[in-house]
Structure 1
């Protein structure tokens, strides 16, 4: 007699994307209020548009070259490598905590409410400063396209009084537009981001190709300093350009609550946005140095890549490409303001800020948090007015925002490293599943060395950026507060934050598990 048995039933299929998305926030104790309408490319665009290589390379190329000469190009791969270490840590966290206010949420769940609150506070203030700095970048490109954009008259160079005043005017107009878009509709904002990023990538590739077809010298020139000070000073200060450009990749995590399949999508778009921006930005810098008509006439150290485009490619082609850069500036300002808005929304939703009840409300008609967008826009506009006080304010604002974001990043990677050293962080890829039923993104056995190097790099760059160098922050002398601006601003941010936290309602982030079990519980 033959005995037959029924075959084992097949494993159940993974939940559909919609069902998985619906349950993502419920696991953390939050309701789905923001509209989940972003796909993978839109998530990539959120991170890439914050980085915005065209905006920041054009904005800070002249500064890096003025201090480091051609040698400053070598700081680019060094900073890119360091930021990839940080991004790899963030990718692991994005898979396990797909929540708006990413840096705040990650730090809180890795350490505790108090430490996480200050990390989030520093991050959101840093983002506000970045919004202001990005908006001020319009001055670098618009007057070079058409003199009529110099509304204040006089010399359009950002380092002059008239250029600084005009930069503030253009920035204020841009911030009005980006604030309106940030309260209109998620689909409108996402569409503008996607179109803008596509235009920026096409423009960046075109600029790189044209620059390399107009080279004037060989790559060996990158071994020369030619800037202010010796090689070490050139590299330390010249690294500011790369440090300013290669930030904001975490924005893909900020938009997790509006992204389909965020556990799977966000880790890959965080790394992808940084990698693409790193390659394009490095080629832009190299092409600019090799194609510049002269390395010694002083124009490259004051006018930057705009001078190279209009001089080497002709005024017509150069201005057309600068128009694409102007689009990138606008989209970058929008993306950075959006990231700051989501951070403010996330902290307010946890009752961690004064007036939290008003700040975390989401419009049922648009699906957008109105009050945080307005707050970020108004604060950024107020900061741009510092440019009216002195042209040196531009550099002070720019370096301050970089240092604050680096400090906030360390507020995530440091407690993550402590978790690893205590054996409280998963070391295998079997610690959870994404929306498609596949293992969560994991660094595995490489997690500890990558995390340790990310912390060391982040702390080193924070100190490097904040160091009160008179020759960098107060070259004309007589403005000691610009020399110490970053240190003073960070100190004031922490002090004001302490007062705000005391006035905020006593609350614990919704759905936050006990911190000793946070990593394990979130991965389920």
Structure 2
């Protein structure tokens, strides 16, 4: 029988504990499982399978992101940019497989932080969590500001400030901050109320989004103007200076969308039997998003009135407006607004659990406050409020300069990929040393844990190579991506600059001279 090295409640020691080998005899089996890592059950454990899936699916939120970013991909690569979607999915699925295997063995909140420190040690673990936390705060702001693209089109009354709803205009930027701030206040309040309310709202929202995606796909395919062979058309946008380069740039659209599928791991301490549920829902959230998103892209290319600069500028809203017309178009926009709402909620929830997990280990400034869990709601309230305030602060950048805000939103995706690498790269190193050792253990219901088995090294290696290539592609100093107007040449270097700045601030915040209260022994 395999033994697992896990932390005990003694903050300075660790011991070997035999994992459960059969069904849990008591309802508190998950809490007992958590205690073997040295943590008490503070968060309320109430999430089921669908709620766990919804956490990852709503973070990806294809209805929100494809609605925003379709024009980006098409503008660079023409209709053939469609193929970047399955390519990115294949790469991210390799990462998801690695996440699924480690989620089964370490079902802890703050997944990226906990996984990376158990594979790579305290420094790598801290920076993995730091990268992910900063990225999620900026991503939540970017999601919230998307309301400006939707609500004024539904009803002009949502344009409270000025008359021009364009996101880059002075009045549009200010109104975007107003709508985004209201949304952030609402989701912060929900996060303070408790996981049960988060789960109910998120489940309803995800159901609405799934219905909306299905309706969009059906509408597009029933109004097709051309066949599916359109995806082999490189189009005019990608002819110069060479299509391969244009195709690589167009892949940024898919890279921006297919992140956040690991949120099921962030909520592991609030999920029933997370050792079995989280690995499944991580893979399912990414796969369902990839299938739904791929069908939306294909349908949009088949139904678009034109395949020229007008489609690049108008994107998916332009196609849907021509297909659905005024009334049904507005109904769909309402569904997109719901998707934006639950996307923002999911991101903030995941980020608050990550911040709580790091603070619980004393790894952040003001850790005592940030790690406090309200006994009635079972929710870490301080992290939710801090994240909400930080998101509103980032939104204000859009008033001063919308180009800088858009650049920040793009750069934060690089940080997510770096955080993923902080898990997969040391995981590969540990795997070469024999991790996971021995036969697969079982969850609290007696089922074997998910394992890649003999394919582990190959899958893990490919995941690391893919992640490294994506970091390079996302960070490449392209003027057409980061400084399309040519007014601020320094923005093309925004990727390397922001990464360096994040590392420097991280070094300043790193808890030097403090031993971790629950040091990691060799991973199992």
Corresponding position of 1:285: 297
The alignment status of 1:240 with 2:252, answered yes or no, reads: yes
The alignment status of 1:507 with 2:515, answered yes or no, reads: yes
Corresponding position of 1:155: 164
Structure 2 CA distance for partners of 1:154 and 1:34, relative to 1, 3 Å: same
Q: TM-score, normalised by structure 2?
A: 0.93
Q: Which moved more, 1:97-106 or 1:235-244?
A: 235-244
The alignment status of 1:409 with 2:416, answered yes or no, reads: no
Distance in 2 (CA, whole Å) between partners of 1:466 and 1:357 is 36
Structure 2 residues without counterparts, runs of 5 or longer: 1-19
Work out whether residues 63 and 339 of structure 2, in 8 Å CA contact, stay in contact via their aligned partners in 1. yes
Corresponding position of 1:457: 466
Corresponding position of 1:206: 215
Structure 2 CA distance for partners of 1:375 and 1:265, relative to 1, 3 Å: same
Residue 314 of structure 1 aligns to a residue in which SS? helix
Distance in 2 (CA, whole Å) between partners of 1:386 and 1:316 is 34
Distance in 2 (CA, whole Å) between partners of 1:17 and 1:403 is 43
Distance in 2 (CA, whole Å) between partners of 1:156 and 1:195 is 29
Corresponding position of 2:98: 89
Corresponding position of 2:224: 215
1:400-422 alpha-carbon deviations (Å, 9 max, x no partner): 12111001000100000001122
Distance in 1 (CA, whole Å) between partners of 2:503 and 2:293 is 33
Work out whether residues 121 and 520 of structure 2, in 8 Å CA contact, stay in contact via their aligned partners in 1. no
Aligned mate of 1:22, from 31, 41, 55: 31
Q: Which moved more, 1:332-341 or 1:13-22?
A: 13-22
The alignment status of 1:103 with 2:112, answered yes or no, reads: yes
Distance in 1 (CA, whole Å) between partners of 2:510 and 2:311 is 46
Work out whether residues 220 and 300 of structure 2, in 8 Å CA contact, stay in contact via their aligned partners in 1. yes
The alignment status of 1:260 with 2:268, answered yes or no, reads: no
Distance in 1 (CA, whole Å) between partners of 2:85 and 2:168 is 24
Once the 2 structures are TM-superposed, how far is the Cα of residue 19 of structure 1 from its aligned partner?
A: 3.1
Residue 300 of structure 2 aligns to a residue in which SS? helix
Distance in 2 (CA, whole Å) between partners of 1:371 and 1:68 is 44
Q: Which moved more, 1:177-186 or 1:394-403?
A: 394-403
Distance in 1 (CA, whole Å) between partners of 2:475 and 2:422 is 16
The alignment status of 1:54 with 2:63, answered yes or no, reads: yes
Corresponding position of 1:4: none
Structure 2 CA distance for partners of 1:505 and 1:347, relative to 1, 3 Å: farther
Work out whether residues 100 and 255 of structure 1, in 8 Å CA contact, stay in contact via their aligned partners in 2. yes
Structure 2 CA distance for partners of 1:365 and 1:291, relative to 1, 3 Å: same
Once the 2 structures are TM-superposed, how far is the Cα of residue 394 of structure 1 from its aligned partner?
A: 4.1
Aligned mate of 2:494, from 475, 485, 495: 485
Aligned mate of 1:330, from 341, 364, 386: 341
Residue 313 of structure 1 aligns to a residue in which SS? helix
Corresponding position of 1:347: 358
Corresponding position of 2:367: 356
Corresponding position of 2:440: 431
Distance in 2 (CA, whole Å) between partners of 1:216 and 1:290 is 6
Alignment of 1:73-88 (within 5 A): 73-88=82-97
Structure 2 CA distance for partners of 1:472 and 1:120, relative to 1, 3 Å: same
Corresponding position of 1:391: 402
Corresponding position of 1:522: none
Distance in 1 (CA, whole Å) between partners of 2:359 and 2:497 is 26
Once the 2 structures are TM-superposed, how far is the Cα of residue 15 of structure 1 from its aligned partner?
A: 1.4
Structure 1 residues without counterparts, runs of 5 or longer: 1-10, 520-524
Q: Which moved more, 1:302-311 or 1:188-197?
A: 302-311
Q: CA RMSD in A?
A: 1.7
Distance in 2 (CA, whole Å) between partners of 1:266 and 1:78 is 24
Q: Which moved more, 1:46-55 or 1:229-238?
A: 229-238
Once the 2 structures are TM-superposed, how far is the Cα of residue 197 of structure 1 from its aligned partner?
A: 0.4
Deviating beyond 6 angstroms after TM superposition, the runs of 4 or more aligned structure 1 residues are none
Structure 2 CA distance for partners of 1:140 and 1:331, relative to 1, 3 Å: same
**Aligned positions, number:** 502
1:337-363 alpha-carbon deviations (Å, 9 max, x no partner): 000000000000000011101110000
Corresponding position of 1:518: 523
Distance in 2 (CA, whole Å) between partners of 1:385 and 1:481 is 21
